[in-house]
């Protein structure tokens, strides 16, 4: 029996400050550029002001990329073009600076934090700060067994909560959230289908490496079988994550909820973070107000989840690589919105026109009819 009460998050999470947002909107009306000419950048700046409870909005100066890593047993069925149990290779490549997220993070000056929750490798082969939160070695094959025990799901969820607290306490002012997994899009699709009440075929995508038709059919069948196992536990989000999620997904869900508690904005990456966000929304309906959708990944399950949460992607560049790249690409857009909202000057106030001090009274006709002066005023006798 779990000692974790997810209902507490409903009371702990508040919406971003509506009064501050209205102040930010009022400030926009007086800027030198006409309202509406900056499009969504205006909305982004006002959203960030409300999240910070500050007008003018403060610049985003201490962002962080957080990536939860894990292997999924369902990858054994060939639902991914990557070999099963190979997520540790991705983690090492990120740490060594050889992945897209590493290149972008270096260019933008953003630190990357990788958290091993369920990699299928010897923990001694990775740095201690990466593996210290690991719950188990790999997650179960969700078409025939639970991904985790309930105790493991709770431990992973609590790890995500603790990591959100660590980031907030260290001064992180925005998180780009992603995953490093093999097979992770399959449990993500199961969660979205279960929570949205759709069939497996509606949410089955082709993953980051674009699987072929045969692999797509295997993936669709795996999602269908896992959905049968998910439906009986739909009313308990922790049991749902244990049954058809995984340790990295449970940790991501806990991280998202606690980030909302701590009023720390988050940019979601792809389908995995979107699926976890959908689970978190079921826990606390106000939580999505603290998140942005970084980009459209092309995965149908991501589109379904974002639509359910009324989150519109900031970018659509066809990026499918995962690992937080889409969220990181959206970061400069958010920073630009903050800079424009804070630094654009307001229009100078127009001064009313003043009438000349010595202007003669009367109309021009009256002025012409008036005598120029009496004889006694002329100085003659």
Is residue 349 annotated as part of the catalytic site, yes or no? no
Exposure b/e, 307-332, CB count within 10 A at least 16 = b: ebbebebbeeeebbbbbbbbbbbbbe
> Quick one: the chain helix, strand, coil %, rounded to 5?
50, 10, 40
What are the CA-CA distances from residue 197 to residues 74, 192, 202, 231 (Å)?
Answer: 22, 8, 10, 9
On whether the CB atoms of residues 274 and 188 are closer than 8 A, the answer is yes
In sequence order, the β-bridge partners of residue 115 are 68
Residue by residue, DSSP assigns 120-178 as SS-GGGS-HHHHTT---SSB--TTTS-SS-HHHHHHHHHHHHHHHHHHHHTT--EEEEE
Structure tokens at 127: 């740095």
Q: Which of 51, 33, 134, 56 is nearest to 91 (CA)?
A: 134
Query: Starting at the edge strand that comes first in sequence, how are the strands of the sheet with 291-293 ordered?
Result: 112-118, 63-71, 174-182, 266-268, 291-293
Integer Cα distance of 356 and 58 in angstroms: 46
Residue tagged active-site, from 167, 323, 346, 350:
323
In sequence order, the β-bridge partners of residue 178 are 67
Q: Report whether the peptide linkage leading into residue 213 is cis, meaning its omega lies within 30 degrees of zero.
A: no
Catalytic positions are 323
């Amino acid at each position: 029996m779990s000692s974790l009460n997810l209902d507490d998050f409903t009371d702990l999470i508040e919406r971003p400050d509506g009064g501050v947002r209205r102040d930010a909107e009022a400030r926009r009306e007086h800027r030198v550029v006409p309202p509406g000419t900056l499009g969504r950048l205006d909305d982004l700046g006002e959203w960030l002001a409300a999240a910070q409870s500050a007008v003018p909005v403060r610049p985003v100066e201490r962002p962080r990329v957080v990536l939860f890593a894990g292997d999924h047993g369902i990858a054994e069925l060939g639902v991914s073009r990557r070999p099963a149990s190979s997520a540790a290779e991705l983690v090492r490549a990120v740490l060594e600076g050889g992945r897209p997220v590493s290149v972008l993070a270096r260019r933008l000056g953003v630190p990357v934090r990788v958290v091993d929750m369920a990699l299928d490798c010897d923990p001694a082969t990775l740095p201690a700060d990466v593996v210290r939160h690991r719950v188990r070695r790999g997650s179960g094959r969700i078409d025939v067994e639970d991904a985790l025990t309930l105790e493991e799901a709770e431990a992973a969820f609590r790890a995500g909560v603790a990591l959100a607290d660590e980031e907030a306490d260290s001064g992180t002012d925005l998180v780009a959230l992603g995953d490093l997994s093999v097979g992770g899009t399959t449990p993500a699709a199961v969660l979205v289908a279960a929570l949205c009440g759709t069939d497996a075929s509606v949410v089955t995508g082709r993953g980051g490496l674009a699987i072929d038709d045969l692999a797509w059919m295997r993936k669709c069948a795996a999602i269908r079988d896992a959905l049968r196992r998910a439906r009986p536990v739909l009313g308990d989000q922790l049991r749902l994550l244990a049954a058809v999620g995984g340790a990295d997904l449970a940790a991501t869900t806990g991280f998202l909820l606690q980030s909302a508690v701590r009023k720390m904005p988050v940019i979601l990456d792809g389908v995995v973070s979107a699926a976890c966000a959908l689970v978190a929304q079921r826990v606390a309906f106000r939580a999505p107000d603290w998140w942005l959708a970084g980009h459209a990944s092309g995965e149908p399950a991501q589109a379904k989840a974002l639509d359910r949460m009324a989150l519109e992607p900031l970018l659509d560049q066809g990026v499918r690589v995962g690992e937080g790249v889409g969220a990181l690409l959206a970061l400069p857009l958010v920073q630009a919105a903050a800079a424009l909202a804070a630094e654009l000057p307001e229009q100078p106030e127009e001064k009313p026109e003043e009438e000349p001090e010595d202007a003669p009274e009367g109309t021009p006709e009256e002025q012409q009819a008036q005598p120029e002066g009496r004889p006694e005023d002329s100085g003659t006798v």
